[in-house]
Structure 1
Amino acid sequence: MPRRVFVHIGAPKTGSTYVQNVLFDNAERLEKAGILIPATFAAHDQAMTDLREVPWRDPEAYWTWDLLAEKAAAFRGDVILTSEGFGAASAEQAKRAVESLQPAEVHVVVAARDLWRTFPSMWQQSIRARGTWRFEDFLAAVEKGEFEGFWEHYTANRMFLRWGDLVPPAQRHLVTVPPPGVSHDLLWQRFAGVFGIPDGLCEMTEPTANPSLGAPEIELLRRVNAALGDRYPHRMPYQRVVQQHLVKAVLQKRANNVRFGVGLDRADWVMALAEEQINQLRAYDCHIVGDLDELRPAVMTDSHSPGELADRQLLDAAVETIVGMIGHADELRQMIPPGHSGVLARVRRGIRRRLG
């Protein structure tokens, strides 16, 4: 049985991918030091979809929450489980997760980021997960109190009410995300301190190239999603096709110079929300790593919504994207070894026969 189990539950868009990359890249070093990161990142992600019983779980997924918990239970030392999707579990699902890890000492780790940066990042993530709503509609829904899912799935306050209350105050940890321009190393140091990872044990990983899309690119993807209709309706097929061959292969490689964000007309509203969030977390009994003042937006510049772009900007982006996809298709073609070009034709004929 492990001594302690740290469950890092999110929130999304708080640098979790960077932290996870460092953890998994150093899994062997950590295990030798008595800290287990079970299996792979994909295993944690699959266990998350099982725990939450989401309808978009990959039917071919192997890992379940119980299987991951069983892997953790067999280790004598400390264990870290991590998925930014854990935080969206219901109260009942969170209770099941924590109880399945006991009698080990369970710690809940949550990260928080200022709302000025979170709003556009969260909306972009929803579009990259096959969403179709406009940025201004998303903001309006949050502002009118018509989208509680944002607060439930993307803020530490709500996550703590479902997860944090299941463990003693000393085992609840809040990590604040440093302001823009600060090195990723500081975020890692904060997480490492919570996990009890000694300085210098891990080799630092370069931040993964996962750039945000610019306004024309994300608006183009939103319209593509709407035009897809019922094609690629689930998470995994969409990721394998649209994410792999459109977003990663083409859209992310564009300059993405036209940025978007919350307009200054909503600055007072966002600042008021930030103060409310800070006050709630200050009143919550937990271990804070960082500074709650970092949840107050440091830089608020005027921005526009992708929905306000001129048709010419979108047309130019669409044409350049088609050119990019032609180049991507040619790269894939060149990867086929000489003499094997007929393989694809046979595969296509076989697929047509099965579908026909």
Structure 2
Amino acid sequence: METDCSTPDTAAPETAAPAPLPAGTRLLHIGPHKTGTTAIQGALFAAKDAMAERGVAFPARTRHPMEAALAVCALPGMMGDTEPTEGHWQRLTELVRATGPRTSVISSEFFADAPDDETIARIAEDLGPGRVHVLITLRPLARIMPSQWQQYVQNGLRMGYEDWLDHMLRKAPYEKPNPSFWRRHRHDRLVERWARVVGPGNTTVVVVDDRDRDGLMRIFETLLGLPAGLLAPVPDTANRSLTLAETEMLRRLNMEFRGNGLPDELYSKLVRNGAVMHMKNACRPAADDARIVTPVWALEAAAGIGAEMAGRIAAMGVRLLGDPALLSALPPAVSGDADPDGPSDEPRIAPEVAAQALYGALAVAAEVPVRPAAGRTVHQTPSGELVRVLGHRALRRLRRK
């Protein structure tokens, strides 16, 4: 990967509690992905009435205004989901303007995907000229990479983890198969883009410490002038990460799905919002389930990039909260008995997990008849043909609804 070997002077991060933002600020949390965004969004949405009583608005009708963020960034929706439109963004900005002089907070990790300075400037202008303060939350790449890979798999990726790491870390220009990864997670450039438009004084960077589970909640409370403890985690099994076996099952299903030429809308309905969602809600991973293990070479590469990013961010003049050294810290196992090549055993999905995933898909496609060709029973019909028949008929039924 392209690296910047310069060693600029760095400023020490703030160690004391940050000062609250001025009343009337539009606090814009842009993620990026896999840095605690879902937990914060859930806590803010659950506390929106209590925040309103204290002069802080949460101007969105849902926990995460994803379509609005995607629309203003001119990005497509998740595979097979509703296409974002300008109307989504306009409705969010109308809600923000309706908050008047009150402080407000908006959070979506998809703002981190803004493609250029013009888009960032438009976001800041539409949310309130001179009132936007950008908050960026960061975690070490070593923790982000496995989470981001399995999330890409949930949106149709068919590439295995180590092959994906090889492409992201070793194969220039590091844009395939997911060009969004480094757009989001080359964190120094992400901070630089937003600070260049809104100003370093209107940019706060928080290095999340995973050892302090509620630390990010407390920072949001302080910046918004809210009492400690007002924001609390909201249980959300649907947001849990997949195990290695679950991810591998889904990845291989993706290969079959693509190979049979089924439409994206069916993937959204039957797989992501059917099989995967039900599996997450119904199954709790066991302590001995195989984890997604990052090989040592990739961890060391990520730590080197993290150190470089931390140095550049500290020299930008933005407010920096937390310990930037965490961005280059290696997991403890690397210095111990970690397998340098990752896991060797083939991950096996538990029968109950597979059954719950299948049930989730069937529940969505309920009452769709499957009629094989004349003269053949269902069991005599090739699986690919059965999948195509079920898929196309389910799609027609969904469209009629």
Tell whether the structures are fold-level matches, with TM greater than 0.5: yes
Matches of 1:8 and 1:153, distance apart in 2: 14
State the secondary structure of the residue aligned to 1:184. coil
* 1:315-350, Cα deviation, whole Å (9 max, x unpaired): xx27554433466589x59xxxxxxx9x888xx899
- The amino acid of 1:240's aligned partner reads K
Alignment of 1:206-225 (within 5 A): 206-209=234-237, 210-225=239-254
Give SS of 2:137's match: strand
Change in 2 beyond 3 A, CA 1:173/1:197: same
The equivalent of 1:147 in structure 2 is 174
| Distance in structure 2 (CA, Å) of the matches to 1:62 and 1:168 | 26
Q: What amino acid sits opposite 1:66 in the alignment? A: Q
Q: 1:273 and 1:224 mapped to 2: Cα distance?
A: 33
Q: 1:249 aligns with which of 268, 278, 282?
A: 278
> Is residue 110–residue 156 contact of structure 1 (8 Å, CA) maintained in 2?
no
SS of alignment partner, residue 10 of structure 1: coil
Whether contact under 8 Å (2:240, 2:280) holds in the other structure is no
Q: Per-residue displacement from partner, 1:207-252 (whole Å, max 9, x unpaired)?
A: 4223222212111111111211243425xx5343212332232266
What is the alpha-carbon distance in structure 2 between the residues aligned to residue 327 and residue 240 of structure 1?
A: 13
**Mapped pair 1:158 → 2:176:** no
Distance 1:351 1:207 in 2: 35
Residue type at the aligned position of 1:13: K
Q: Which moved more, 1:267-276 or 1:7-16?
A: 267-276
TM-score in terms of structure 2 length: 0.74
Q: Which residue of 1 aligns with 2:88?
A: 64
Q: CA deviation at 1:204?
A: 1.6
Unaligned runs of 5+ in 1: 334-340
Alpha-carbon distance change, 118 to 325 in structure 1, aligned in 2, over 3 angstroms: closer
Contact 1:176 1:289 in 2 (8 A): yes
- Structure-1 separation of matches of 2:141 and 2:314: 17
- 2:66 corresponds, among 45, 50, 60, to 45
Distance, in Å, in 2 between the alignment partners of 1:133 and 1:18 is 28
Q: Which amino acid aligns with 2:224?
A: F
CA distance in structure 2 between the partners assigned to 1:349 and 1:233 by the alignment: 13
- Aligned partner of 1:95 among 121, 127, 135: 121
Name the SS of the counterpart of 1:40 in structure 2: coil
SS across alignment from 1:288: strand
Supply the AA of the counterpart residue of 1:52: C
Report the secondary structure of 2:291's partner residue. Answer: coil
Match of 2:205 in 1: 174
Which residue type is aligned with residue 88 of structure 1?
A: D
| CA–CA distance in structure 2, aligned partners of residues 225 and 305 of structure 1 | 25
The amino acid that maps onto 2:121 is K
Aligned residues: 334
C-alpha spacing 1:350/1:50, structure 2 compared with 1 (3 Å): closer
Distance 1:195 1:305, change over 3 A: farther
Superposition TM-score, scaled by structure 1 size: 0.82
Seen in structure 2, the aligned counterparts of structure 1 residues 267 and 44 have a Cα distance that, compared at 3 Å, is closer
User: Which of residues 195, 204, 208 is equivalent to 2:232?
Assistant: 204
Query: Which residue of the partner structure matches residue 10 of structure 1?
Result: 31
Residues 115-154 of structure 1 aligned to structure 2 (within 5 Å): 115-144=141-170, 145-148=172-175, 149=179, 150-154=181-185
Tell me the distance in 1 between the aligned counterparts of 2:25 and 2:395.
Answer: 52
